[in-house]
Amino acid sequence: MQRTLFRRSHAFKTCDHEFFKSGFARFIATSCRAVVLPRFGGPEMLQLRSDVEVPQLKPSEVLVRARAVSVNPLDTRMRSGYGRSIFEPHLPLILGRDISGEVAAVGTSVRSFSVGQEVFGALHPTAVRGTYADYAVLSEDELAPKPPSLTHVEASAIPFAALTAWRALKSTARITEGHRLLVVGGGGAVGLAAIQLAAAARCQVTTTCGSRSIDRVRKAGAEQAVDYITEDIELAIKGKFDAVLDTIGGPETERIGIKFLKRGGHYMTLQGRGSILD
């Protein structure tokens, strides 16, 4: 049984300032506003600065004018010192993984996007210059065209959470048609994305969630939705599962998730350390 660590997200709107006009690898402006973390600690450590340097683009990079970004639990943990050995040498940091906005400039080898195009995407978890800025730099393969049906705020809440669910289900659990999946906490961003991905793969999905999320998770594709407040989860859920994605990650949800797991199945969590369990 494999136990794996993943992450999740929430969104908020950013400022609306424009500094860049060039579509090439060098830009008119050299700085912009950003929320900076000079040292690890609580939210009071975050500082809004107006003169943060904007690096020149590498050939495969895209400069995105931020319209909305999201706040992930990973960001709050990084702010508090998570990954200190990786990030401390790079202080001050700019946090933030997700972004939705418009292309302000492109590197010389970028072919998928053009200046002015609406895009959304997410940086790698270890990126040290994040998206909490007027402008963020992402590689071409970290972006996708923003669907016209989504607002920037909606779009910014999707990438990191959806990629987390995708990696858990497709890369780790390798779900296929007919597999049974249990999503513990299906009402959140990662859980809801996991339900949709599994349903699209024709898996049988059961999830736990609060009463307010019951209708939403069913519409997303869950065949069974168990209200963890009013129902006894261990009595309501029947059978074993090929994979369990635990978006809560507490000792009790871990116990329940492992209880329902088939021998050789995958238990994946958003909390704690990833490890292999026999």
pLDDT tens for each residue of 194-248: 999 999 999 999 999 999 999 999 999 999 999 999 999 999 999 999 999 999 9
Number of independent structural domains in the chain: 2
Q: How far is CA 20 from CA 30, 61, 98, 103, in A?
A: 9, 15, 20, 10
What ranges make up the beta strands (E) of 107-250?
118-122, 135-139, 143-145, 180-184, 204-209, 224-227, 241-246
> Are 24 and 152 members of one domain?
yes
Band (pLDDT 50/70/90 cuts) for residue 29 is: low
Give the domain range for residue 186. 161-276
Residue 272: predicted pLDDT: 57
In a domain, 2, yes or no: no
Left (φ > 0), alpha (ψ -120 to 50) or beta: where does 239 sit?
Answer: left
Residue 173 has a CB neighbour count (10 Å cut-off) of: 25
Q: Per mean pLDDT, which range of 42-56, 202-216, 263-277 is the poorest?
A: 263-277
Cα-based distances in Å from 257 to 32, 105, 109, 222, 250 = 46, 46, 46, 17, 10
Q: Is residue 276 pLDDT above 90, yes or no? A: no
Mean pLDDT of the chain: 88
Residue 243 belongs to domain with CATH number: 3.40.50.720
Other Cβ atoms closer than 10 A to 20: 18
Q: How far apart are the first and last CA of the chain?
A: 6
Please give the structure tokens belonging to residue 42: 């609580």
The CATH number given to whatever domain includes residue 72 is 3.90.180.10
Residue 23 and residue 215: Cα distance in Å, rounded?
Answer: 45
pLDDT at 30: 81
pLDDT digits (tens, 9 = 90+) for 86-102: 999 999 999 999 999 99
Q: Please identify, among 120, 137, 157, the residue that sits at the C-terminal boundary of a domain.
A: 157
DSSP state of 253: H
Quick one: the chain helix, strand, coil %, rounded to 5?
25, 35, 40
Predicted confidence at residue 271, as pLDDT, reads 76
At a CB cut-off of 8 Å and minimum separation 6, what does 191 contact? 165, 183, 184, 185, 207, 209, 217, 245, 247
Task: Enter the pTM of the model.
Answer: 0.81
Residues 46 and 152 in one domain: yes
Instruction: Report residue 270's pLDDT band, with 50, 70 and 90 as the boundaries.
Output: confident
Pair 167, 131 in one domain: no
Instruction: Classify residue 1: in a domain, yes or no.
Output: no
Burial profile 181-194: b = 16 or more Cβ within 10 angstroms, e = fewer: bbbbbbbbbbbbbb
Rama region for 272: left / alpha / beta (φ>0; ψ in -120 to 50; rest): left
Q: Does 74 score more than 60 pLDDT?
A: yes
18 and 121 part of one domain: yes
In the beta sheet, which residues pair with residue 6?
none
Query: What confidence score (pLDDT) does residue 249 get?
Result: 87
Q: With 0-12 CB in 10 A as exposed, 13-18 as middle and 19+ as buried, what is 247? A: buried
Domain boundary among 157, 192, 220: 157
